[in-house]
């Protein structure tokens, strides 16, 4: 059971239905998610334009927190090319699950995943695509790499290979009931990822297959502010190790706690403001895709310290004096507020 749960987290947001481009794969800043009771599977089969998803029998059983950081030197060594680390920490847990991400001029790929007792390190990364992504979109990528972990108390290492498919398969209306955080009803655009991998271990003179993992993820992004408001993960695990066959489906559902979002009611959509190049060594360009002008900007490091404070109209920011790492930008424009992030090389 321990091994199954680890794999679940590792291989783990006018009346019209117009879709909006999905600007970013993960959230800009730290976010809390309600873990939803997955006892009864929800119906996510609706696809295409003008889809409707009514998830109105949800109840909360826990909380996950997403945190974004720059990779450490050790993480870069193990997961080459990583530019950002997403850590998902369950309330009460000592450690979190980490997803290692490479952002290469907007092209997003996965370089690895890690939990306390299990890791995946991609030598052939899992590429989602170049953001922003629009409906309809489809991409299939081959993946491979090394894995290591704990199988019922026994250390196991080996290789994995398979396929990773990404589609922007639907947009429409998402309805969530009030399970303690208020109701949600809004227009969303959805990304679907399907990963099918085979695990192999080396025995004496050759590699032998010990099992397969098939994971399907759905990510629902709000069309107004771009936030990831709902996500699900379904894992079909079939592992034959040490004579024990595991054949089970495990699900994880999560809904964004919108009560923790900014108190400013006038928010700018995520895709209205662009930062480039990102990562950068010296100059960060800030561009608006609408008529708004910039009024002020604050750059905040991961210790919560304000390291830059500009109160004037600007289009470029000199960040050459900042130390390498991930920074949060709080931007005030003539049309509202937005929070973005950038990486200083």
- Give backbone dihedrals phi and psi of 27, rounded to 5 degrees, phi first: -70, 160
Cis peptide before 277 (omega within 30 of 0): yes
* Torsion (CA) 9, 11, 13, 16 in degrees, nearest 10: -140
**pTM for the model:** 0.73
Cα–Cα distance between 61 and 59 in angstroms, integer?
A: 7
pLDDT tens sequence for the chain (345 residues): 444 444 444 444 333 346 788 989 988 677 889 998 866 789 999 999 999 999 988 888 888 999 888 899 999 999 999 999 999 988 766 667 899 999 998 999 999 999 877 789 999 999 999 999 999 999 999 999 999 877 666 778 899 999 999 999 999 999 999 887 788 999 999 999 999 999 998 887 888 888 888 999 999 999 988 889 999 998 887 876 553 546 777 788 999 987 654 434 344 445 567 888 878 889 988 887 766 778 888 887 755 677 888 887 678 889 899 888 777 777 877 777 677 777 888
Sign of CA dihedral 20, 26, 32, 38: positive
């Amino acid at each position: 059971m321990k091994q199954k749960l680890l794999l679940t987290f590792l291989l783990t947001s006018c009346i019209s239905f117009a879709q909006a481009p999905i600007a970013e794969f993960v959230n800009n800043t730290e976010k809390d998610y309600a873990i939803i009771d997955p006892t009864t599977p929800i119906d996510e089969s609706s696809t295409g334009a003008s889809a409707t998803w009514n998830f109105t029998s949800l109840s909360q059983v826990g909380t996950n927190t997403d945190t974004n950081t720059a990779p450490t030197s050790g993480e870069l060594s193990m997961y080459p090319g990583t530019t950002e680390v997403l850590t998902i920490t369950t309330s009460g847990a000592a450690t979190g699950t980490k997803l290692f991400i490479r952002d290469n001029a907007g092209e997003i790929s996965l370089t690895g995943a890690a939990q306390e007792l299990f890791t995946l390190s991609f030598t052939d990364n899992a590429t989602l695509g170049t953001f922003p992504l629009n409906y309809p979109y489809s991409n299939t990528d081959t993946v491979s790499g090394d894995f290591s972990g704990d199988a019922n108390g026994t250390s196991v290492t080996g290789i994995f290979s398979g396929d990773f498919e990404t589609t922007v398969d639907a947009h429409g209306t998402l309805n969530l009931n009030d399970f303690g955080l208020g109701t949600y009803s809004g227009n969303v655009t959805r990304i679907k990822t399907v990963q099918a991998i085979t695990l192999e271990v080396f025995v004496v003179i050759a590699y032998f297959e010990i099992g397969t993992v098939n994971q399907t993820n759905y990510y629902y992004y709000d069309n107004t502010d771009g936030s990831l408001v709902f996500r699900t993960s379904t894992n079909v695990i079939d592992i034959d190790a040490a004579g024990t066959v595991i054949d089970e489906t495990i699900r994880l559902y999560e809904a964004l706690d919108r009560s923790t979002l900014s108190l400013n009611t006038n928010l700018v959509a995520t895709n209205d403001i662009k930062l480039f190049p990102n990562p950068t060594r010296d100059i960060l360009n800030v561009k608006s895709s609408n008529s708004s002008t910039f009024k002020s900007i604050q750059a905040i490091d991961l210790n919560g310290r304000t390291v830059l404070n500009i109160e004037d109209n600007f289009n470029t920011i000199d960040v050459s004096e900042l130390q390498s790492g991930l920074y949060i930008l709080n931007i005030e424009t003539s049309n509202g507020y937005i929070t973005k992030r950038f990486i200083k090389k």
